[in-house]
Protein backbone atom coordinates (compact mmCIF):
# COMPACT_ATOMS: atom_id res chain seq x y z
CA UNK A 1 0.00 0.00 0.00
CA UNK A 2 2.77 2.35 0.99
CA UNK A 3 4.67 1.60 -2.25
CA UNK A 4 1.57 2.38 -4.30
CA UNK A 5 1.17 5.73 -2.53
CA UNK A 6 4.83 6.56 -3.11
CA UNK A 7 4.53 5.61 -6.80
CA UNK A 8 1.41 7.76 -7.13
CA UNK A 9 3.12 10.70 -5.45
CA UNK A 10 6.15 10.28 -7.68
CA UNK A 11 3.90 10.17 -10.75
CA UNK A 12 2.09 13.32 -9.63
CA UNK A 13 5.41 15.05 -8.97
CA UNK A 14 6.68 14.04 -12.40
CA UNK A 15 3.51 15.38 -14.03
CA UNK A 16 3.91 18.63 -12.09
CA UNK A 17 7.50 18.99 -13.24
CA UNK A 18 6.61 18.21 -16.86
CA UNK A 19 3.68 20.62 -16.72
CA UNK A 20 5.94 23.29 -15.27
CA UNK A 21 8.50 22.76 -18.01
CA UNK A 22 5.80 22.92 -20.69
CA UNK A 23 4.26 26.04 -19.14
CA UNK A 24 7.66 27.70 -18.83
CA UNK A 25 8.54 26.76 -22.40
CA UNK A 26 5.22 28.06 -23.76
CA UNK A 27 5.63 31.29 -21.82
CA UNK A 28 8.86 32.07 -23.65
CA UNK A 29 8.58 30.10 -26.89
CA UNK A 30 4.86 29.84 -27.57
CA UNK A 31 2.85 26.71 -28.25
CA UNK A 32 2.45 24.56 -31.38
CA UNK A 33 -1.31 25.05 -31.67
CA UNK A 34 -1.03 28.83 -31.74
CA UNK A 35 1.78 28.60 -34.29
CA UNK A 36 -0.45 26.53 -36.59
CA UNK A 37 -3.40 28.90 -36.14
CA UNK A 38 -1.15 31.89 -36.81
CA UNK A 39 0.34 30.37 -39.96
CA UNK A 40 -3.11 29.47 -41.32
CA UNK A 41 -4.51 32.96 -40.66
CA UNK A 42 -1.39 34.59 -42.15
CA UNK A 43 -1.67 32.55 -45.37
CA UNK A 44 -5.39 33.33 -45.69
CA UNK A 45 -4.81 37.04 -45.03
CA UNK A 46 -2.05 37.29 -47.63
CA UNK A 47 -4.00 35.44 -50.33
CA UNK A 48 -7.14 37.54 -49.78
CA UNK A 49 -5.55 40.94 -49.15
CA UNK A 50 -2.61 40.80 -51.57
CA UNK A 51 -3.71 38.48 -54.41
CA UNK A 52 -1.37 38.03 -57.35
CA UNK A 53 1.77 38.92 -55.37
CA UNK A 54 4.81 36.77 -54.65
CA UNK A 55 4.68 37.40 -50.90
CA UNK A 56 5.99 34.62 -48.69
CA UNK A 57 6.04 34.09 -44.93
CA UNK A 58 9.66 34.35 -43.89
CA UNK A 59 9.23 33.34 -40.23
CA UNK A 60 6.67 33.18 -37.44
CA UNK A 61 7.82 33.97 -33.93
CA UNK A 62 6.31 34.19 -30.46
CA UNK A 63 6.43 37.55 -28.70
CA UNK A 64 6.61 36.74 -24.99
CA UNK A 65 6.19 40.42 -24.10
CA UNK A 66 2.69 40.59 -25.57
CA UNK A 67 1.83 36.90 -25.44
CA UNK A 68 1.01 36.99 -29.14
CA UNK A 69 2.69 35.99 -32.38
CA UNK A 70 4.04 37.82 -35.38
CA UNK A 71 4.88 36.81 -38.91
CA UNK A 72 7.50 38.45 -41.09
CA UNK A 73 6.34 38.62 -44.70
CA UNK A 74 8.48 39.57 -47.67
CA UNK A 75 8.63 39.63 -51.45
CA UNK A 76 11.66 37.89 -53.00
CA UNK A 77 11.49 40.29 -55.97
CA UNK A 78 11.19 43.59 -54.07
CA UNK A 79 13.80 44.61 -51.47
CA UNK A 80 11.49 47.19 -49.88
CA UNK A 81 8.44 44.93 -49.72
CA UNK A 82 8.54 43.37 -46.28
CA UNK A 83 6.23 43.87 -43.33
CA UNK A 84 4.85 42.26 -40.18
CA UNK A 85 1.55 40.69 -39.20
CA UNK A 86 0.72 40.32 -35.51
CA UNK A 87 -1.71 37.83 -33.99
CA UNK A 88 -3.22 36.85 -30.65
CA UNK A 89 -2.97 33.38 -29.08
CA UNK A 90 -5.93 32.15 -31.10
CA UNK A 91 -4.35 33.21 -34.38
CA UNK A 92 -6.59 36.23 -34.89
CA UNK A 93 -4.96 39.04 -36.86
CA UNK A 94 -4.36 42.14 -34.76
CA UNK A 95 -2.18 44.35 -36.97
CA UNK A 96 -0.78 44.52 -40.49
CA UNK A 97 2.16 46.93 -41.00
CA UNK A 98 1.99 46.83 -44.83
CA UNK A 99 0.37 50.27 -45.14
CA UNK A 100 3.22 52.21 -43.51
CA UNK A 101 6.13 49.89 -44.25
CA UNK A 102 5.39 49.33 -47.93
CA UNK A 103 2.55 51.50 -49.28
CA UNK A 104 3.79 54.66 -47.51
CA UNK A 105 7.49 53.82 -48.23
CA UNK A 106 8.58 53.43 -44.61
CA UNK A 107 10.93 50.58 -45.57
CA UNK A 108 12.40 52.65 -48.40
CA UNK A 109 13.14 55.51 -46.01
CA UNK A 110 14.79 53.15 -43.51
CA UNK A 111 16.89 51.53 -46.25
CA UNK A 112 18.17 54.87 -47.48
CA UNK A 113 18.83 56.10 -43.94
CA UNK A 114 20.81 52.95 -43.14
CA UNK A 115 22.90 53.41 -46.29
CA UNK A 116 23.57 57.06 -45.46
CA UNK A 117 24.51 56.09 -41.91
CA UNK A 118 26.89 53.47 -43.29
CA UNK A 119 28.78 55.86 -45.58
CA UNK A 120 28.97 58.64 -42.96
CA UNK A 121 30.20 56.14 -40.34
CA UNK A 122 32.99 55.19 -42.74
CA UNK A 123 34.21 58.80 -42.61
CA UNK A 124 33.83 59.29 -38.86
CA UNK A 125 35.46 55.94 -38.03
CA UNK A 126 38.37 56.37 -40.39
CA UNK A 127 41.76 56.59 -38.63
CA UNK A 128 42.33 59.71 -40.75
CA UNK A 129 39.39 61.58 -39.17
CA UNK A 130 41.25 64.21 -37.13
CA UNK A 131 38.77 65.05 -34.36
CA UNK A 132 38.10 63.44 -30.98
CA UNK A 133 34.36 62.84 -30.79
CA UNK A 134 31.90 61.50 -28.22
CA UNK A 135 29.15 61.11 -30.78
CA UNK A 136 29.12 61.25 -34.57
CA UNK A 137 26.66 59.94 -37.14
CA UNK A 138 24.68 60.91 -40.18
CA UNK A 139 20.96 60.48 -40.79
CA UNK A 140 18.46 61.32 -43.48
CA UNK A 141 15.57 63.55 -42.52
CA UNK A 142 12.64 61.86 -44.28
CA UNK A 143 9.16 62.47 -42.88
CA UNK A 144 5.53 62.64 -44.02
CA UNK A 145 4.93 65.94 -45.78
CA UNK A 146 2.39 67.17 -43.23
CA UNK A 147 4.96 66.80 -40.42
CA UNK A 148 7.67 68.94 -42.00
CA UNK A 149 8.22 72.51 -40.80
CA UNK A 150 5.52 74.77 -39.33
CA UNK A 151 6.78 74.45 -35.76
CA UNK A 152 6.79 70.65 -35.83
CA UNK A 153 10.47 70.44 -34.89
CA UNK A 154 11.25 68.75 -38.20
CA UNK A 155 13.39 71.03 -40.40
CA UNK A 156 12.07 72.44 -43.65
CA UNK A 157 14.88 70.76 -45.61
CA UNK A 158 13.52 67.30 -44.73
CA UNK A 159 12.49 65.16 -47.70
CA UNK A 160 8.79 64.25 -47.92
CA UNK A 161 8.24 60.53 -47.47
CA UNK A 162 5.67 60.63 -50.24
CA UNK A 163 8.35 61.41 -52.84
CA UNK A 164 10.16 58.12 -52.37
CA UNK A 165 9.81 55.32 -54.90
CA UNK A 166 9.54 51.73 -53.71
CA UNK A 167 12.84 49.92 -54.46
CA UNK A 168 14.12 53.19 -55.91
CA UNK A 169 17.87 53.59 -56.47
CA UNK A 170 19.17 56.94 -55.24
CA UNK A 171 22.47 58.76 -55.50
CA UNK A 172 23.49 59.09 -51.85
CA UNK A 173 25.48 62.29 -52.42
CA UNK A 174 22.44 64.00 -53.93
CA UNK A 175 19.97 62.75 -51.34
CA UNK A 176 22.47 63.66 -48.61
CA UNK A 177 22.77 67.19 -49.97
CA UNK A 178 19.02 67.50 -49.80
CA UNK A 179 18.08 65.73 -46.56
CA UNK A 180 21.26 64.62 -44.78
CA UNK A 181 22.02 65.75 -41.23
CA UNK A 182 25.32 65.25 -39.38
CA UNK A 183 25.30 65.04 -35.58
CA UNK A 184 28.74 65.61 -34.07
CA UNK A 185 30.07 66.16 -30.52
CA UNK A 186 33.75 67.12 -30.56
CA UNK A 187 36.02 67.20 -27.52
CA UNK A 188 38.56 70.01 -27.31
CA UNK A 189 40.57 71.82 -24.64
CA UNK A 190 39.61 75.04 -26.43
CA UNK A 191 35.87 75.73 -26.47
CA UNK A 192 35.24 78.93 -28.40
CA UNK A 193 33.17 80.01 -31.38
CA UNK A 194 36.43 80.42 -33.31
CA UNK A 195 37.43 76.81 -32.63
CA UNK A 196 33.94 75.54 -33.44
CA UNK A 197 33.97 77.41 -36.75
CA UNK A 198 37.39 75.99 -37.61
CA UNK A 199 36.31 72.40 -36.93
CA UNK A 200 33.00 72.75 -38.76
CA UNK A 201 34.83 74.06 -41.83
CA UNK A 202 37.25 71.13 -41.55
CA UNK A 203 34.40 68.59 -41.34
CA UNK A 204 32.73 70.14 -44.40
CA UNK A 205 35.97 69.76 -46.35
CA UNK A 206 36.40 66.13 -45.25
CA UNK A 207 32.88 65.18 -46.36
CA UNK A 208 33.23 67.08 -49.62
CA UNK A 209 36.44 65.19 -50.39
CA UNK A 210 34.66 61.91 -49.55
CA UNK A 211 31.85 62.78 -51.97
CA UNK A 212 29.18 62.73 -49.26
CA UNK A 213 26.70 65.59 -49.12
CA UNK A 214 24.71 66.89 -46.18
CA UNK A 215 22.10 69.61 -45.75
CA UNK A 216 22.77 70.65 -42.15
CA UNK A 217 24.88 69.94 -39.11
CA UNK A 218 24.13 69.62 -35.40
CA UNK A 219 27.48 70.47 -33.83
CA UNK A 220 28.63 70.67 -30.21
CA UNK A 221 32.12 71.63 -29.08
CA UNK A 222 32.81 70.57 -25.50
CA UNK A 223 35.63 69.98 -23.04
CA UNK A 224 36.84 66.39 -22.59
CA UNK A 225 35.72 64.47 -19.52
CA UNK A 226 37.94 64.61 -16.46
CA UNK A 227 39.97 61.36 -16.50
CA UNK A 228 39.54 60.92 -12.73
CA UNK A 229 35.85 61.51 -12.03
CA UNK A 230 34.45 61.72 -15.59
CA UNK A 231 33.03 65.17 -14.88
CA UNK A 232 32.84 67.71 -17.67
CA UNK A 233 32.76 71.49 -17.84
CA UNK A 234 29.36 72.91 -18.77
CA UNK A 235 31.03 75.32 -21.20
CA UNK A 236 29.94 74.36 -24.72
CA UNK A 237 29.37 75.83 -28.14
CA UNK A 238 26.31 74.25 -29.77
CA UNK A 239 24.42 74.82 -32.98
CA UNK A 240 21.42 72.92 -34.35
CA UNK A 241 20.47 72.47 -38.02
CA UNK A 242 23.32 74.72 -39.10
CA UNK A 243 22.91 74.87 -42.91
CA UNK A 244 25.59 73.49 -45.19
CA UNK A 245 25.26 76.68 -47.24
CA UNK A 246 26.32 78.72 -44.19
CA UNK A 247 29.54 76.78 -43.64
CA UNK A 248 32.09 78.97 -45.40
CA UNK A 249 35.00 80.96 -44.06
CA UNK A 250 33.89 84.58 -44.41
CA UNK A 251 31.79 85.54 -41.38
CA UNK A 252 31.70 81.94 -40.12
CA UNK A 253 32.63 82.77 -36.53
CA UNK A 254 29.82 85.32 -36.21
CA UNK A 255 27.29 82.91 -37.70
CA UNK A 256 28.32 80.26 -35.16
CA UNK A 257 28.02 82.79 -32.31
CA UNK A 258 24.57 83.89 -33.48
CA UNK A 259 23.33 80.30 -33.89
CA UNK A 260 24.70 79.29 -30.49
CA UNK A 261 23.11 82.27 -28.73
CA UNK A 262 19.79 81.60 -30.44
CA UNK A 263 19.90 77.97 -29.30
CA UNK A 264 20.75 78.92 -25.71
CA UNK A 265 17.88 81.44 -25.68
CA UNK A 266 15.53 78.75 -26.94
CA UNK A 267 16.65 76.33 -24.22
CA UNK A 268 16.20 79.03 -21.56
CA UNK A 269 12.70 79.76 -22.86
CA UNK A 270 11.78 76.06 -22.76
CA UNK A 271 13.17 75.72 -19.21
CA UNK A 272 11.13 78.74 -18.15
CA UNK A 273 7.94 77.27 -19.61
CA UNK A 274 8.63 73.96 -17.87
CA UNK A 275 9.27 75.68 -14.53
CA UNK A 276 12.94 74.86 -14.29
Of 81, 103, 125, the position where a domain reaches its end is 103
pLDDT for res 64: 67
All residues at 6 or more sequence positions from 202 whose CB lies less than 8 Å from its CB, including other chains: 130, 131
Of 84, 103, 122, the position where a domain reaches its end is 103
Rounded CA-CA distance 113/107 in Å is: 10
pTM of the model: 0.83
Residue 153: pLDDT over 60: yes
Q: What is the pLDDT of residues 95-147, one digit of tens each?
A: 999 999 999 999 999 999 999 999 999 999 999 999 999 999 999 999 999 99
Tell whether 245 and 196 lie within a shared domain.
yes
Tell whether 220 and 163 lie within a shared domain.
yes
Average pLDDT over residues 242-258: 98
Indicate whether 160 belongs to any domain.
Answer: yes
Indicate whether 22 belongs to any domain.
Answer: no
Tell whether 215 and 202 lie within a shared domain.
yes
| Phi and psi at residue 274, to the nearest 5° | -90, 5
Indicate whether 135 belongs to any domain.
Answer: yes
Tell whether 167 and 86 lie within a shared domain.
no
Q: With pLDDT > 70 as the criterion, what percentage of the chain qualifies?
A: 88
All residues at 6 or more sequence positions from 248 whose CB lies less than 8 Å from its CB, including other chains: 201
Tell whether 60 and 180 lie within a shared domain.
no
Domain count, the chain: 2
What SS3 string covers the chain?
A: CHHHHHHHHHHHHHHHHHHHHHHHHHHHHCCHHHHHHHHHHHHHHHHHHCCCCCCEEEEEEEECCCCEEEEEEEECCEEEEEEEEEECCCCCEEEECHHHHHHCCHHHHHHHHHHHHHHHHHHHCCCCCCCCEEEEEEEECEECHHHCCCCCCCCCCCEEHHHCCCCCCCCHHHHHHHHEEEEEEEECCCCCHHHHHHHHHHHHHHHHHHCCCCCEEEEEEECCCCCCCCCCCCCEEEEEEEEHHHCCCCCHHHHHHHHHHHHHHHHHHHHHHCCC
Residue 24: pLDDT over 80: no
pLDDT for res 8: 44
Instruction: Please provide the average confidence, as pLDDT, over all residues in the chain.
Output: 88
pLDDT band for position 4 (50/70/90)?
A: low
Domain of 199, in residue numbers:
106-273
Residue 23: pLDDT over 70: no
Tell whether 133 and 167 lie within a shared domain.
yes
Tell whether 148 and 38 lie within a shared domain.
no
Tell whether 130 and 264 lie within a shared domain.
yes
Tell whether 110 and 75 lie within a shared domain.
no
| Secondary structure (3-state) at 233 | coil
Indicate whether 16 belongs to any domain.
Answer: no
Tell whether 132 and 230 lie within a shared domain.
yes
Amino acid sequence: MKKRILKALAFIAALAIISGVIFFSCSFMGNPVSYLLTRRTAKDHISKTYPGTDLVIEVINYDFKTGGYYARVKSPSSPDTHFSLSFDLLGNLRYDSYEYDVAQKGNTARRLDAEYRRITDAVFQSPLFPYDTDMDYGMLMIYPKNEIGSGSGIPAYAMPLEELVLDGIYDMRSIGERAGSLVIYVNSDTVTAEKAAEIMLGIKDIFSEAGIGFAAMDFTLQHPKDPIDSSRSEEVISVIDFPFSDIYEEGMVQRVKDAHEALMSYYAEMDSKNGK
